[in-house]
Amino acid sequence: MTVTLRDAVSPDLRTTLRALKLGQMLATLPDRLTLARQQKMTHADFLELVLADEVTRREAKSAGLRARAAGLDAGMRLDTWDASAAVSYDRQLWNELVSLRFLDGPHGALILGPVGVGKTHLACALGHIAIRRRRTVHMASAAKLFKRLKAARLDNSLDAEMRRLTGVELLILDDFALQPLDPTETADFYQLCVERHQRASTVVTSNRTAEEWLSMMADPLLAQSAVDRLASTAHELIIEGESYRRRQKPVISGPNSEPVDDEKGNHHDHS
């Protein structure tokens, strides 16, 4: 009688694993049993193997939850970045940023470039790497973060919110200076820069250069002080190229193209 892989895990073992909150092992245990037989593993080696699988699963789940709490997009990771995209940037500097050594400075990073070249994706990817290394991360668009700080003033939670933002090891501020900053937003940005200067790392993405930020803020003195602190301790990664959104633009076939069937199976001609 042929024993299937599924039959290799007895009902009693299934019940025991679930009772111990190890039910996720059942997804890979049959394959691991087969591997153990093929390689004639000792009991200790097999136990080490399946427990390592469980640790990996739990760490991945934990990292996913922490990334979500940090405001990171689940799809913007290093492994989902299209390295063949038609953009150019300093690959050596990017590799240095990926190492996260800048967090130990602590230093920051300015990821600059035109719309649609992947600035947000790269910044978010750094956040995911930091999360997996058990560093504290928070990512938010500049507009939403400043709006949240304004709301915090209304319920007297501003101090607590500022402490949270200044205490996080890696703060990622996305789409900074997309619009002019009013006096309150300028003051909040200044406070963040002062509190985090040489204490924690800040990554900023922007369509504008650091020099152009000055004219976007309401108070020139606060703007100069904040930008000087941020830029003086930050790596500057400039991305150039065509917007990926343009590359995603649908193509309409010409009059001589082959007829196609729509989703309902109806025949159409492009003429």
Q: pLDDT tens for residues 134-145?
A: 999 999 999 999
Q: Are residues 95 and 62 in the same domain?
A: no
Is residue 271 situated within a structural domain?
A: no
Is residue 263 situated within a structural domain?
A: no
Q: pLDDT tens for residues 110-161?
A: 999 999 999 999 999 999 999 999 999 999 999 999 999 999 999 999 999 9
What token pair was written down for 16?
Answer: 């025991």
Give me Rg for the CA atoms of the chain. 25
pLDDT category of residue 235 using cuts at 50, 70 and 90: very high
SS3 112: strand
pLDDT category of residue 16 using cuts at 50, 70 and 90: confident
pLDDT category of residue 107 using cuts at 50, 70 and 90: very high
Q: Minimal CA–CA distance to 129: which of 159, 152, 103, 150? A: 103
Residue listed under structure tokens 């087969």: 34
Show the domain range for 52.
7-69
Q: Are residues 100 and 223 in the same domain?
A: yes
178 has pLDDT over 60: yes
Domains in the chain, number: 2
Is residue 258 situated within a structural domain?
A: no
Is residue 122 situated within a structural domain?
A: yes
In terms of pLDDT, which residue wins out, 61 or 197?
Answer: 197
Q: What pLDDT does residue 271 have?
A: 37
Q: Are residues 195 and 134 in the same domain?
A: yes
Q: What pLDDT does residue 2 have?
A: 41
Percent of the chain residues past pLDDT 70, beyond the cut? 87
Q: What is the mean pLDDT of residues 82-101?
A: 92
Average pLDDT score, the chain: 88
Q: Are residues 95 and 222 in the same domain?
A: yes
Q: What pLDDT does residue 260 have?
A: 45
Identify the sign of the CA torsion 214, 216, 220, 223: negative
Is residue 260 situated within a structural domain?
A: no
Q: Are residues 86 and 209 in the same domain?
A: yes
pLDDT category of residue 249 using cuts at 50, 70 and 90: low
E strand segments, the chain: 87-88, 108-112, 137-141, 170-174, 201-206, 234-238, 240-241, 260-261, 267-268
Q: pLDDT tens for residues 182-224?
A: 999 999 999 999 999 999 999 999 999 999 999 999 999 999 9
Q: Are residues 142 and 238 in the same domain?
A: yes
